[in-house]
Amino acid sequence: MTQLEELLVGWIPRQRWFAGKGVPIEKVMVEAEHTVVTGETGLRLLVVNVGQRDCTSRYQVLLGLRPEGTLRSELSHAVIGVCELPGRGLPCTVYDAAHDSELMSRLLEHIAEGAGDGSLRSCPIPGTVVRTGLRSLVLTGEQSNTSVIYGEDYVLKIFRRLWPGYNPDLELNAALAGSPFVSPPHGWIETDLSDQGRPVPTTLAMLQEYLRTATDGWVLAATSVRDLYAEPATPPGAAGGDFAGEAERLGAATAAVHQDLARQLPTDVLSRHALRELARSMNDRLRRAAEEVPQLKPYTGALGSAFSAFAEVDEPLPVQRVHGDYHLGQVVRTDTGWVLLDFEGEPAAPIGERQRLSSPLRDVAGMLRSFDYAARYQLIGNAYEDELAPVARAWARRNREAFCAGYAFGGGVDPEKHQVMLRAFEYDKAVYEVMYESRNRPSWLRIPLDSIAALAV
């Protein structure tokens, strides 16, 4: 390995966006290197192969370069290390350039100008004028990617884990152009990655409008729950922070987006055989989860029965492109209404898998699970948990019903008339959550387990 690759072996596992935590890195290799800014202060976009046990994954690293000893103190937290690079002469400090406003400003210019050398291409949306000269700031809290805010105008989402192909976040936002329920894209950066020996155009980053007046849906819902917990004797509908109206409007917005996706992109209907295969995959996930998390075993009978009933549904199951990872953290409330974000699906899955057609009810189920999370997570460690648990259930039930009513009113399939399908998708999501929480947030494991216990009565 080169000096840089050896530094990356130690730096990559400490990043929030690294998906392979807990498994040692055996090797790092720079597959491709694209120079955006030359000179003493440089910017390179790297495609890096990270080898772990029985697995190799690709990641994007934005590499800033400055002569050793010249890095500004406010960038010290972004340092990767000091090394010698070919063509640089003296040793230089390398660091995560996403935190360097000067270099991110140059990257914005790269997009605005549609610059590129063939191997790295910046692609502004036709007819779009991108303002430059804006200061940047990295958003905190993201786990899978890195988002950089430019003034109050744009957000650049930098995709960290790379799979060959156009990222669904770009693909679906472009298909939904003109919809009031999405943030319009202004451009993107792409390169070619090899996939089975052939070059495939692959999205590295996407520039969108920044919704500066937006409030995160999870924050709004959690505030509503907190207000209700302050008055536990008050019915959810009478509490000052009642969220049901917003939940209903969110349901209608979700239905409108689903309808637009069905108009713009391919649709299909699952055959009986495909439906049974989908049910089998749900049962397989349940089996693996029960082996990994013994607390799930008491409920495998009820869950398996729901998946078996799903396999025997004797009605068409329309499928289309959907959000794929839908929850309250993927929506924001602006002055004019709800906006849906992050259409990339599950970042740990290959792009081809995320592009598969699915039932819109999968997104509905994801949001219903999110309401349960918003209601229950504040009970963890709460001294009044026994008193507040019924309040949490009442809040979740009221908002689940409001969302489903809004979804049906907005033109989506009526969830109440497709309970067998919806239940299967919701159980499947809860099983996934059990595995996720067991591996990443053990203190939250009780949230999906408690939900499964209530759902499986």
Joined tokens for residue 202: 């692959």
pLDDT attached to residue 30? 97
Q: Please say whether the beta carbons of 23 and 12 come within 8 A.
A: no
- In order of 180, 282, 301, 308, 358, the CA distances from 304 in angstroms are 40, 9, 5, 6, 21
Closest of 359, 363, 174, 169 to residue 268, by C-alpha? 359
Closest of 293, 316, 289 to residue 304, by C-alpha? 289
pLDDT tens, residue by residue, 184-218 = 999 999 999 999 999 999 999 999 999 988 999 99
Element spanning 95, H or E: strand 92-96
CA distance 20 to 144: 11
Mean pLDDT on 333-344: 96
pLDDT attached to residue 4? 97
pLDDT reading at 457 higher than 70 = no
pLDDT attached to residue 386? 87
* Phi and psi torsions of 215, nearest 5°: -120, 135
pLDDT attached to residue 321? 98
pLDDT tens, residue by residue, 252-305 = 999 999 999 999 999 999 999 999 999 999 999 999 999 999 999 999 999 999
Question: Which residue is it, tokens 């029960």?
Answer: 290
pLDDT tens, residue by residue, 144-187 = 899 999 999 999 999 999 999 999 999 999 999 999 999 999 99
pLDDT tens, residue by residue, 233-254 = 888 888 778 999 999 999 999 9
pLDDT tens, residue by residue, 60-92 = 999 999 999 999 999 999 999 999 998 887 899
SS (H, E, C) 179-209: CCCECCEEEEEEEEEEECCEEEEEEEEEEEE
* Phi and psi torsions of 267, nearest 5°: -130, 170
pLDDT attached to residue 54? 83
pLDDT tens, residue by residue, 6-53 = 999 999 999 999 988 888 999 999 999 999 999 999 999 999 999 998
pLDDT attached to residue 1? 87
Name the band, by pLDDT with cuts 50, 70 and 90, for residue 134: very high
Mean pLDDT of the chain: 94
Provide the whole-model pTM: 0.93
Name the band, by pLDDT with cuts 50, 70 and 90, for residue 348: confident
SS3 320: strand
pLDDT tens, residue by residue, 399-430 = 999 999 999 999 999 999 999 999 999 999 99
Joined tokens for residue 315: 């009605």
pLDDT attached to residue 239? 74
pLDDT attached to residue 293? 97
CA distance 159 to 342: 11
User: In this structure, what DSSP letter does residue 139 have?
Assistant: P
**Domains of the chain from N-terminus onward:** 3-209 (no CATH), 215-455 (3.90.1200.10)
Closest of 168, 172, 155, 154 to residue 202, by C-alpha? 168
